[in-house]
Structure 1
Amino acid sequence: MTRSGQGHHRERHDPHWVEWLTGLFSALLIAGLLGWVGWEALTRQATPPDLSVTILTTEKTSGGYRVAFDIYNTATTTAAAVTVVGRLREGDRVVEENPVIFDYVAAESKSTGAVLFANDPAGRTLEIRPAGYTDP
């Protein structure tokens, strides 16, 4: 902080209490984050991707039908090149099958996508499931 007196400026050498408070808060925050990251690194076990799909909506589009879905990965490991397959069945016969590929589905997260069908899913058995992934 600069003080002026009789046209002269001079710096204060003792820091203001706000500077001390800011420094203390920052140091505690950094120490807490480092402790949390370290704890997670030491105690969390890596589990292989555990993928599941929930169908959200079915909508008619100009080119057919769009079935939107969420894909969840509840594991602690990311899955890459995730393939999701959508199938329409009438009894035992597969009417239509279309894959969707996600670049990745991060650990403990969800992603959203859609399968596009030419045939109407109404009155048919609709199945959307994860079919495979690679380790990143």
Structure 2
Amino acid sequence: MNKGPTKGNMQENFRSKNEETTRKPGTSVTEWIVAGVSCLALLAVLGYLILDGLSGRNGAADIIVLPTKVTAMNDGYVVEFAANNRAGNSVAAVEIKGELRDGEEVVEESSVTIDYIPQMSDRKGALIFRSDPKTYELRVSASGYSEP
């Protein structure tokens, strides 16, 4: 009389099914490829950060201001300029000062503050004068900044 599978047969069936579904011990090829790509990405990021830190770009700001266009308005003249931060430091509250000069005499002054100039980038702005900048010597420069 056989009522069904015995306890011994059930254990054998379970072991054989379990052995078929378990994977082989060790690391698969896909896991090695993912690990290699991840390692290369990590080394690239670390290399970039080390080179950036050792490059010595972090010094005083080097802001060059060049006038680009003069436009006449109803009651004055607008002098547009480009401020270029050539250094590795970002700067904030950059004071741009413009002067109209007749020889050594300053005829008129104007100034503007640029909120922020990131490292190695340009920002544009404008100064407003009442006198015509074309009839005088125009000097435009950065006169101060703060660290952000």
TM-score by length of 2: 0.67
| Matching residue of 2:143 | 131
Q: Work out whether 1:112 is the aligned partner of 2:124.
A: yes
2:133 aligns to what SS in structure 1?
Answer: coil
Change (3 A) 1:28 1:125: same
More strand by share: 1
Change (3 A) 1:25 1:58: farther
Among candidates 53, 78, 82, match of residue 65 of structure 2: 53
| Matching residue of 1:44 | 55
Q: Distance in 1 between matches of 2:73 and 2:34?
A: 56
Unaligned segments of structure 2, at least 5 residues:
1-29
**Largest Rg, 1 or 2:** 2
Q: Work out whether 1:78 is the aligned partner of 2:90.
A: yes
Change (3 A) 1:34 1:59: same
Q: How far does the alpha carbon of each residue in 1:56-102 deviate from its partner, in whole angstroms, 9 at most, with x for none?
A: 11111233111111111111111211101011112232221011101
2:125 aligns to what SS in structure 1?
Answer: strand
Q: Work out whether 1:98 is the aligned partner of 2:96.
A: no
Among candidates 100, 104, 122, match of residue 88 of structure 1: 100
Q: Which amino acid aligns with 1:75?
A: A
Q: Distance in 2 between matches of 1:124 and 1:36?
A: 48
Among candidates 76, 80, 87, match of residue 64 of structure 1: 76
Shift, 1:132, TM fit? 0.8
Q: Distance in 2 between matches of 1:49 and 1:76?
A: 7
Unaligned segments of structure 1, at least 5 residues:
1-16
Shift, 1:119, TM fit? 1.1
Q: How far does the alpha carbon of each residue in 1:21-78 deviate from its partner, in whole angstroms, 9 at most, with x for none?
A: 999878856653453234313x122111011111111111233111111111111111
TM-score by length of 1: 0.72
